[in-house]
Amino acid sequence: MTNMDWKDQLRGCFEDIAILERCRKETAENFQQFCEFIAEPALEALEDELKTYEIRAKHSIRKGRSISFQVDFRKSKTDHFHYAIVLPKNSLELKLQAQVRGRRAPNGPLLESIEPFMPGTPPEKVMKVAREDLIAAVIARYRDFIIESMSRAD
């Protein structure tokens, strides 16, 4: 091995690290844009519609990490259902997760699961998800949670 070989290897190592850092930064920026232009407007629309059913809902953003949606029990201030879209730490692509938490009863414990975000949507298509499709996915998960809770009620 010559001196140039190990120097090339070292240079390649630092170039690879720079590429990974750039990918991580771009992924975080893309997630922020996804939240701003797709997820937040979708969740705001869903919040407004839930008011017609006398259900309080709100969303929040943890910059660069997640966007969350909380639905309270009907005519209550107690949280019932949470749906968070999460960018896993050190992600190199928009392979998002859905964190679902909820209570079967107002004084019950929070049950939690982590699932793939919109299964069948590859990371390269996340930025093209339609707001309506995101709303439909959240409603479907909310409906499934309620139905599952009702079937397990004592």
The pLDDT of residue 61 is 93
pTM confidence score = 0.87
The pLDDT of residue 122 is 94
Residue 5, φ and ψ in degrees, nearest 5:
-65, -50
Q: Region 121-131: what's the mean pLDDT?
A: 95
Which of these, 69, 131, 66, lies nearest to 94 by C-alpha position? Answer: 66
The pLDDT of residue 153 is 52
Q: Please give the biggest Cα pair distance in the chain.
A: 75
Residue 37, φ and ψ in degrees, nearest 5:
-100, -20
Q: Region 13-42: what's the mean pLDDT?
A: 94
Q: How far apart are alpha carbons 17 and 120 in whole angstroms?
A: 30
The pLDDT of residue 109 is 87
Q: How far apart are alpha carbons 32 and 52 in whole angstroms?
A: 30
Confidence of residue 95 (pLDDT cuts 50, 70, 90): very high
Report how many domains make up the chain.
1
Q: Region 115-139: what's the mean pLDDT?
A: 95
pLDDT in tens, 3-13: 679 999 999 99
Which of these, 103, 117, 97, lies nearest to 148 by C-alpha position? Answer: 103
Residue 37, SS3 per DSSP? helix
Helical H runs in the chain?
A: 3-34, 40-51, 131-152
pLDDT above 90: residue 74:
no
pLDDT above 90: residue 108:
no
Q: How far apart are alpha carbons 141 and 31 in whole angstroms?
A: 21
The residues, ordered by sequence, that sit 6+ positions from 121 with a Cβ below 8 Å of its Cβ are 129
Domain of residue 141: give its range.
Answer: 3-152
pLDDT in tens, 46-67: 999 999 999 999 999 998 799 9
Which of these, 133, 53, 45, 43, lies nearest to 84 by C-alpha position? Answer: 43
